[in-house]
Structure 1
Amino acid sequence: MVAIATAAPEATAERQDSPDWYDLLVEAVREPGQLSAAYKYFRNYSLCNRWLAAIQLRKLGLPLMPINTFKGWLGAERPVQREQKATISLVMPVPVKSKKKDDDAPKGKDAKAKKGAATRTPVAQPDEKEKRFTRFMLRRHWFHMEQTAGAEYQPEAVAAKDWTVETAMSFFEITERPFEFASVTDTKRMGWAGGKEISVSPLDAHPVYGRVREMARIVLGHTAAEPGKFVPTTADMRDLEAETVAYLCAATLGIEGLEEGRLRLQAAMDEAAERIPDKVANRAFAAADKLLNAGFC
């Protein structure tokens, strides 16, 4: 008879709400081959969660293996064994509540007048309105297969599809225009993106990688008429963000030009005066995930 564990609450003292996005990126640049392996093994997860799972399994001294939640393993007829605790943390949507004071609460002189009359008439306290929103946070809810026992595990079959840059472009309604050289010395510029159009230089030895890089600028919002508040304000940081997305996609899919892209990204990271902001690395992982998913549609 298999001893079944009960799902234990997380130790709040050990909780970390957000991954270190920069460290995740550094690990990905250091070992590009592992991104591809993690993608194939954890295909139903987002790119960042695939990579998070792979890194944590490696730190535990374990090979890539199936992971699941407590309930998920029960459904697979492989209950988590007694005294086993969740070991894998992934990013998941978490509903959050916050309270906001009513704007109609008394202020200034009115508030003082109300306070002075408190002995005669009770003063109504400011109303607090509840606001609900969703945050993506790290939660330790996953167990690896060696923590379970039971029926032979058969991973869910995933339909095999080939990723194509044309499919991704069609999904985002991106069109490609012929590259035009600005002058006879215009040999270093490998491409551009504007609006929902891209162009890649015929001198680019790896045109698919180049298309992914220019598409990344559009997905990241670099070419929007009114860039969002999280879009980097400097051209160098926008270039680095787009290069990061292209590298993550190339490392995951094995796109030609990966090694050259890795060297460019590594050089840019080494030359940066400060550590790349976590928000930039976070946005890069999210944009790469969108491009990867779009290419299979």
Structure 2
Amino acid sequence: MSNNTTRPDWGKLFASLLTEPGKLGEHYRLFHRYSLGNQAMAVFEMTIRGIPIGPISSFNGWKRLGRRVKKGEKAIALWMPVVKKDAIRKDDGTDEEVTKRFFIMKNNWFALAQTEPIDPENPGTVPIPETPTWDRELALKNLGITEVPFTEVDGNRQGFARPDRAEIAINPLAAMPWKTTFHEMAHCLLHSKQADVAFVDGGHINRSIEEAEAEAVAFLCCATLGLPGLEEARGYVQDWLGSPAQAEEFAKKSVARVFAAADKILKAGSKAGEGVDHE
């Protein structure tokens, strides 16, 4: 094929996605998981102080991630649980130890925008690799998808999509921003209210299937373009599907949707301006 690049066998790749071992990346567990109340408080405080909304962590937490708090930055206040043990004298004259748990407000946290790399030569962000056949910005433009700032407090989230608005956001600290880009693009193509989100038997897609579909699209795109992340994608899909029975059902009902979305994404970013072929 003159201008087209031969693509790998997607049928075999899709089968391997469900059967070969995978792993869940450590990047899903790097940050503390804050309560919804604390997340709301952090967003409110960042907003009134004019700090760009983004992931938060403690002083030492950022240090472990290779970042430091900028000089002069004031910490964000959140509720922090405190456990205190007291001895209570019982009627028989003996002491009984009781544990009390309460919350206090502490100024211990900082937003990403309040930090900087400890080593300027190693900023801690992963660049998106360039590929000879596919252009990210071209794909976004051709698909009508807009990239917006990442405004999530939870740094474990790699990105998010607003399918009905055709918007995606990628965490500046995402471990594999290229894979996350494919994943969020897939949500926009497959899971908006305007998209056909019903299975062939009329059953509607639940959250686990949506996540598995989006990651399966990312898996095929990464495999086709020779990008890393296949083992992590397998782990993500298998974790969301949860059981061999649901994986089998997924293989039957979602394969055509996944292939179509991956093909559309690859064509949209094709530098050759022509179709994307796969065997």
| TM-score (ref. length: structure 2) | 0.46
Structure with greater contact order relative to length (CA < 8 Å, sep ≥ 6): 2
Q: Which has the larger radius of gyration?
A: 1
| TM-score (ref. length: structure 1) | 0.43
